[in-house]
Structures are given as C-alpha cells and as structure tokens.
Amino acid sequence: MNLNAEDLLKIVKEHEHEMITELSHLVTHSSYTYAPESVNRLQEYIADQFKKEGCKVEYLSPNNAIYGNHLRIECGVGKEQILLLAHVDTVYPEDTVAKSEFSIEGNRLVGPGVYDMKGGVLQVLWAVRLLKRLDLKTKYRIAIIINSDSEAGGVSSRRYIENEAIKSKAVFVLESSAAPEGELKNQHCGTGRYRLKISGASGHPSQYSPTTSAIQELSFQIQRLHSLSQPENRLVVNVGQVWGGDTVNTISPHATALIEMRFLDEEDGYRTEALILNAQPFTNCTVEINGDITRLSVRRNADTQRLMCMVRHLAEPLGLKLKDGVVGEASDGNYAATLGVPTLDGLGPVGGGAHSEQEYITRESLLQRTALLMRILCNADL
C-alpha cells in the first residue's frame, strides 16, 4: 500500500483521540529514573503494546538495581537497520507526578515528562502501530532502544545503544524539539558529572569555628564552580544537589554536592573539567572530588547535514518547514554520533518547559511528527 503525505497525515489525525488518551496514561504513570519498580511497570506496558504489533521485544538488564530495565524492540525486515532512540524515565519523583495532572490546554498537552520525553515514546509506538495497520513496508529493519536511565546520563544503557548504533545505517532520536520553531538538532552539548565531598569537624555551635564547617566550605565551593560557567559559549557548570550536616544544633562535619557540566566545544569541556577537579579548600576542611565527562559533544558534520536534508525533504509535504538545525542539549544520541554513525535528534513533538511544572507539547506537532517518522521509516534513502 502506498500513501502520499497528505493522506498519511489525515489518517494519523483520525487517531488523535486515541493517541492523546494513551499519552495521558504514559504521563500519569510515574517513571522517575531512580524508582525502578515504577519504571519497570511502564516498560512492561510499552513492551506489551509493541508485542501486539508483532515486534520482537527484549528486556535489557541495567546491571544496576538503581535503574529499571531497558527495552530493545525490533520490527520490519531487511539486512540493514536504522536505530530509533527514546527514553521512558523522567526527573519527576513519584509524589510530584501524583500531585500533577495531564491536561489539554488548547493546542497544548501538559504534564510531567510529556516533553522529556513521553511524547516521543508515544510517537514511536504509534508510528509502528499505524505502519502495521496500513500494511506499509519499511526500507530497513527497525531497531528501537527505550532506555530507563537517560536522565542519569545513560550510564547503564550506553553499551546497548552503542552496540545497536554501530550496526545501523543511521540513528534517529525522538527527543522533543523546542517551540516555536521546532528545529531539529544537528549539534549536541556534551556532559560531565562530578561528586564533591567535604569533611569538617563537628562541635557545639557555642564553640563555632567557620574554618571547620563543611557546609560553609561547600558554600564557597559552589560559588567557585558556578563562576566557571560561560553560557554565551554554551558552557555551564551547575551544582544541582547538595546535602550535609547532622543536626541543626551541630557544626556540620560533612557536606556533599553533585555537579553537572555541559559544554559544546570539546576543548572547553576538558579545560573546565580540569578546573572542577582541582578543587582546593577555602577553610580547614578537606575536599574530595571525582567524576568525568560522560558524553562527548557532537558538532555538525556532513553526515548529519545529509540526514537533515533528507528529513527536510520528507517533511515539506506534511506542511513542516524545518530550518537548518540548532544546538541541542546532551542526549543518548551523543553515544551514537561519537562512534561516527549519522545521527539526527529532535524528531519528537514540539514544546517546552522541560523539567518544570510547565512542561508541554503541542498536539498538532505530535500528529505531524508521527506522520514524519512514518515517512522516514518508509522512504529514508541512506
């Protein structure tokens, strides 16, 4: 069966109500990165849906009890494959999701994790579902990885992603793209993650000595770390979590901070990492820090531009006018791209508010991007 782009989009739109209903289920089911039981329940639901479409589904162990299972899904036929990447985990703890609702506000679909990136997960599922219902044939065998630890840097899924990427003609990442333009991402920041541990000396507050307070030392270290940021150069150092102390009436003997660095230029990344790791105490406390770069940055190259041109061509008949691409944040696509595999990100729905109470995607883009993904799977010339 052959369908032109206009007819294909019309068919996708006929399933809008079903798609939004299922998206509501995905969004209201908590899948916080560090709640593996909740993640596994949602992964089981997703696996069952793909199995119903005749796909081969395999659970991949994270080999770490902190994270839930990853999924590898295979459908279609062919000697050569393309890889689709998505992640089911979110940054929202279970109690946050329990207090939140999925809502429809005009053209916006709002809820925790809808942008990052349950909209993209739904997109993959419905693209595969409709391809089967319409008896449309793909040009390549399709491998799909839906991982559970992307928000933690993909530490346990990296090897699975790399193993599939190296066997693939191209990799398409279903991370959402930023409103209003919804441009695809042909460059990506890299990331580094670090743990800072400070040891001081406990004591009674009446004998307070600022030179032994781990929390005070930490406050100085945070100011130093944040001063390394150069946002105008796409270089950001952020202290995202801190904790320490024993009781309110005790001088803090210990304090800890978790730090993330994001960078576009590789030299900036390595130079700044050296500064992060060269932490020296401001007081009489001791300072320990460890960590490293987890994802290398990805710069625009000929292979990415070729994919971009192909996707822009397939998008035009759907009424999508994609531009030249933008710099994206780090994603699991970094692992594929740094292996030299052509990789394009940002194929998910258009929206914004990632990691906030205002997270949303537009319903129009969800439908258009689902149709676009179907056209890529059926017509990609790699």
pLDDT single digits (tens) 169-197: 999 999 999 888 888 988 899 999 999 99
| Statement to judge: residues 318 and 286 lie in one domain | no
Judge if 109 and 250 occupy the same domain: no
Whether residues 154 and 16 fall in one domain:
yes
Of 71, 168, 13, 76, residue with least CA distance to 377: 76
Residue 78 pLDDT grade (very low, low, confident, very high; cuts 50, 70, 90): confident
- Tell if the pTM clears 0.85, that is, is over it: yes
Residues 265 and 340 in one domain: no
Say if residue 203 is in the same domain as residue 343.
no
Please indicate, yes or no, whether residues 262 and 204 belong to a single structural domain of this protein.
Answer: yes
What is the percent of the chain with per-residue pLDDT over 90, rounded to a whole number?
A: 87
Among the candidates 240, 275, 295, a domain finishes at 295
Please check the confidence at residue 1 and state whether its pLDDT lies above 80. no
Q: What's the pLDDT score for residue 208?
A: 63
CATH of the domain at 358: 3.40.630.10
Residues 206 and 323 in one domain: no
Q: Mean per-residue pLDDT for 258-285? A: 97
pLDDT score recorded for residue 324: 72
The total number of structural domains that make up the chain: 2
Residue where one domain finishes, among candidates 279, 295, 311: 295
CB contact at 8 A, 113 and 51: no
Domain-ending residue, one of 240, 271, 295: 295
Are 165 and 314 members of one domain?
yes
209 and 270 within one domain: yes
207 or 301: which carries more pLDDT confidence? 301
Supply the CATH number for residue 279's domain: 3.30.70.360
* pLDDT given for residue 240 in this prediction: 96
Q: Is residue 156 located within the same domain as residue 228? A: no
Whether residue 333 has pLDDT greater than 90: yes
Q: 36 and 89 share a domain?
A: yes
Summarize pLDDT for 27-75 with one digit per residue, the tens. Answer: 999 999 999 999 999 999 999 999 999 999 999 999 999 999 999 999 9
* CA distances (Å), origin 138, targets 76, 144, 310: 6, 14, 16
CA–CA dist 102, 379 (Å, integer): 34
Structural domain span for residue 137: 5-188+297-379
Residues 231, 319 within the same domain: no
